[in-house]
Amino acid sequence: CTDDKLAHGILVLSDANAAFKLKEDPHRQQFLWIDDLDGNEMNTLLDKFDVLSTDAAASTELRRRLRDEVGANAQGLFKTAAKAKSAAAAAVKALPADATEAERVATASASQRRVFERFIDEKQRDAFDEVDNLLTRSKSKGDFRRLLLALLNNPSGVRQREVHFSATEANEEFKTKGFRAITYNSEVKLFQFYSKAHQYPAGLWFEREA
């Protein structure tokens, strides 16, 4: 967010929904939305850490799941890649001294995959809980239900007027941990899923209800 006349400054918000704490001042503010990494950027980061680079079929599938089922958030991906690399190094170090190179590569690869599999599972589990909280515990659960259904039909984003829902009506729940399944993209004025990880659980929630 930039303030052109007063401070000539740039505010880097720690969370997309932190924008709700800013007072609206459209004449002096301009929002810049920083999205997740795209597929090529995600692959470049993973390659730089040299993770998910062996056992082609399994690694390719995990990379696809990261991109499509969780989303390539740069911070989360960076931490997970570093954790996977450390786990692989520890697993290889624990092998017998006479382990073959093939055994070392296989052990490192399996260890890395376990780290990423846990990461994906945890993100999806947390996302389902956040969707469930919005639909069962939120003070505005009727509004959120309508909004989530609209987003499932149009995951790229939904405008306020299309669902008759004000972004500020439930801003505390947008910001509260455990409820952040939806965000509001201030740059393009669209409601969106908070992350790729929330889209699948939202569909699953309504399937189970039916």
Question: What would the pLDDT profile of 110-132 be if each residue is shown by its tens digit?
Answer: 999 999 999 999 999 999 999 99
Look-up: residue for tokens 């659960």?
141
Q: Contact 141/165 with Cβ under 8 angstroms? A: no
CA distance linking residue 108 with residue 177, whole number of Å: 35
pLDDT band of residue 5 (cuts 50, 70, 90) is: low
**3-state DSSP assignment of residue 158:** strand
- CA 32 to CA 202: how far, in whole Å? 27
| Beta strand pairing call for 9-10 and 190-193 | unpaired
Mean pLDDT of all residues in 80-108:
95
pLDDT digits (tens, 9 = 90+) for 144-161: 898 999 999 999 999 888
| CA distances to 57, 120, 134, 166, 186 from 64, in Å | 11, 11, 28, 35, 28
Collapsing DSSP to helix, strand or coil, 137 comes out as coil
Q: Which of 151, 105, 111 is nearest to 131 (CA)?
A: 151
Write down the pLDDT at residue 6: 58
Q: Is the pLDDT of residue 71 over 80?
A: yes
Buried b (16+ CB within 10 A) or exposed e, 189-202: ebbbbbbbbbbbbb
Whole-structure pTM over 0.85, yes or no? no
